Chains A and B, each alone.
Chain A
Amino acid sequence: MTTLAEKVPASATSSRWENARRGFYRFRNSWLSIAGLLIVLVLFIIAVIGPSIVPYPEHVAGSVSTATRFQPPSALHWFGTNELGQDVFSLVVAGSQISLLAGLAVVAVGALVGTLVGAVAGYFGGWTDEVLMRLADLKLTVPSLILAMAVAAALGPGILNMVIAISISWWPGYARLVRGEVIAKKEEMFVQAARALGAGTGRILRRHILPNILTPVIIKMSLDMGFAILTVASLGFIGIGVKPPTPEWGSLLSIARTYMPDYWWTAVFPGSAIFLAVFGFNLLGDGLRDVFDPKARR
Chain B
Amino acid sequence: MALLEIRDLHLGMRSFEGEAHVLNGIHLTVERGEIWGIVGETGCGKSLTGLSISRLVSTPPGRYITGSISLEGRNLLTASEPEMQSLRGRRIGMIFQDPTTNLNPAFRVGEQIVDVALHAGGLDPSILGVGAKASRSERKKAARNLAIDMLAKVGIPKAGERIDDYPHQFSGGMRQRVLIAMALIGRPDLLIADEPTTALDVSVQAQILRLLYDLVQEHQLGVLLITHNLGVVAQICTHVAVMYAGNIIESGSVREVFKNPNHPYTTGLLASVPTAKMKRGELQGLPGSVPNLLAPPPGCRFAPRCAAVQPRCTAAIPPSVAVAAHHEVACVLAEPHASAAA
Q: Which residues of A contact B (CB under 8 A)?
A: 1-3, 6, 21-22, 25-26, 298
Contact = CB atoms under 8 A, between A and B. Distances in A.
Nearest to A22: B16
Contacts of B295: 6
A22 B295 CA distance: 18
A6 B16 contact: no
B304 A25 contact: no
Interface in B290-322: 290-292, 295, 304
Contacts of B292: 2-3, 6
Contacts, number: 19
A3 B16 contact: no
B16 A2 contact: no
A2 B295 CA distance: 11
A298 B15 contact: yes
A21 B16 CA distance: 9
B331 to A, nearest CB: 20
B304 A2 contact: yes
A3 B15 contact: no
A3 B297 CA distance: 11
A6 B288 CA distance: 14
Contacts of B291: 2-3
Contacts of B16: 21-22, 25-26, 298
Interface string B266-302: 0000000000000000000000111110010000000
A298 B15 CA distance: 9
B15 A1 contact: no
A26 B289 CA distance: 27
If over half of A's interface residues share one DSSP class (helix, strand or loop), that class is named, otherwise mixed; here it is helix
Interface in B1-35: 15-16
Interface of B: 15-16, 288-292, 295, 304
Contacts of B290: 3
Nearest to A4: B289
Contacts of A1: 288-289
A109 B16 CA distance: 36
A2 B289 contact: yes
Contacts of A26: 16
Nearest to B305: A2
19 contacts: A1-B288, A1-B289, A2-B288, A2-B289, A2-B291, A2-B292, A2-B304, A3-B289, A3-B290, A3-B291, A3-B292, A6-B292, A6-B295, A21-B16, A22-B16, A25-B16, A26-B16, A298-B15, A298-B16
Nearest to B295: A6
Nearest to B290: A3
Nearest to B304: A2
A3 B291 CA distance: 6
A2 B302 CA distance: 12
A56 to B, nearest CB: 48
A1 B286 CA distance: 12
Contacts of B288: 1-2
Nearest to A18: B16
A26 B17 CA distance: 11
A22 B16 CA distance: 6
Nearest to B16: A25
Q: B291, B292, B304: which has the most chain A beta carbons within 10 Å? A: B292
Given A1-B288, A22-B16, A298-B16, 16 more contacts: A1-B289, A2-B288, A2-B289, A2-B291, A2-B292, A2-B304, A3-B289, A3-B290, A3-B291, A3-B292, A6-B292, A6-B295, A21-B16, A25-B16, A26-B16, A298-B15
Nearest to A1: B289
Contacts of B289: 1-3
Nearest to A6: B292
Nearest to B15: A298
Contacts of B15: 298
Q: B16, B289, B290, B291: which has the most chain A beta carbons within 10 Å? A: B16
A6 B289 CA distance: 13
Contacts of A298: 15-16
Contacts of A2: 288-289, 291-292, 304
Contacts of A22: 16
A251 to B, nearest CB: 46
A25 to B, nearest CB: 4
A39 B289 CA distance: 45
A212 B219 CA distance: 49
A199 B291 CA distance: 37
A21 B290 CA distance: 25
Contacts of A25: 16
Nearest to A21: B16
Nearest to A24: B16
Q: A2, A6, A26: which has the most chain B beta carbons within 10 Å? A: A2
Question: Which 6 pairs of residues, A with B, have the shortest CB-CB distance?
Answer: A3-B292, A25-B16, A22-B16, A1-B289, A2-B288, A2-B304
A296 to B, nearest CB: 11
A1 B290 CA distance: 8
A294 to B, nearest CB: 15
Nearest to B287: A1
